[in-house]
Amino acid sequence: MFDHKIIITGPVGVGKSTAIRTYSTSAVVDTDVRASDETRQIKSDTTVAMDYGTIVLDAETKVHLYGTPGQERFDFMWEILRSGSRGLIILVNALAADPAQELRFYLHAFADIINKVPVVIGVNQAPKDEQTRAMVATLQQVVQEMGAEAEVLIVDVRKRKDVNKLVKRILFSDKLFAV
């Protein structure tokens, strides 16, 4: 059995905890608490340390999913969580004021691993329309500008098959080295 540690990161409320709850078959560990600051306007609970869940995909493959906190004041956890990781999923909120800027921020924050492990971008909370398709093209351009290599996929992380698509992109990538 091979263990694969995959990190899910992205801004507050994008759906990191939701993705892990949707996908994991083990009991999920979360560190969500009632939000006390401006996050409260977005949703009631926020992750302060991490989310964790696992799924056994086949006889040889066990995936461990770790979700980072979205709030930047907990960014010390990003460093801790990324060690030993085998891939990075960055979720971007399609409804944010500037999704391209969000993506730049996370590619920059994880700059030391994006060229070492496979990366995939999930555009969440996305209406299926022309604007979303244009946004995917813009985000693909951001990936290029940042010297990274990553596919941009439209997802709804409340759907297991969509989270599965993100995980599979990482597992089937030919970049196989963990950091």
Q: Note whether 47 binds Mg ion by CB under 5 A.
A: yes
d(CA 30, CA 51) in angstroms, rounded, equals 4
Q: Note whether 18 binds ligand GTP by CB under 6 A.
A: yes
Q: How far is CA 127 from the centre of its chain?
A: 19
Residues in the chain, overall count: 179
Position among 12, 103, 142, 154 found at the interface with ligand GTP (CB under 6 A): 12
Position among 9, 17, 85, 125 found at the interface with Mg ion (CB under 5 A): 17
Taking the least distance from each CB to Mg ion, the nearer of 72 and 129 is 72
Taking the least distance from each CB to ligand GTP, the nearer of 2 and 128 is 128
Contact assessment for residue 25 and residue 84, using Cβ atoms and an 8 Å cutoff: no
Cβ burial, residue 65 (10 Å; 0-12/13-18/19+): buried
Q: Note whether 99 binds ligand GTP by CB under 6 A.
A: no
Contact assessment for residue 30 and residue 68, using Cβ atoms and an 8 Å cutoff: no
Contact positions vs ligand GTP (CB under 6 A): 12-18, 39, 43, 46-47, 69-70, 124-125, 156-158
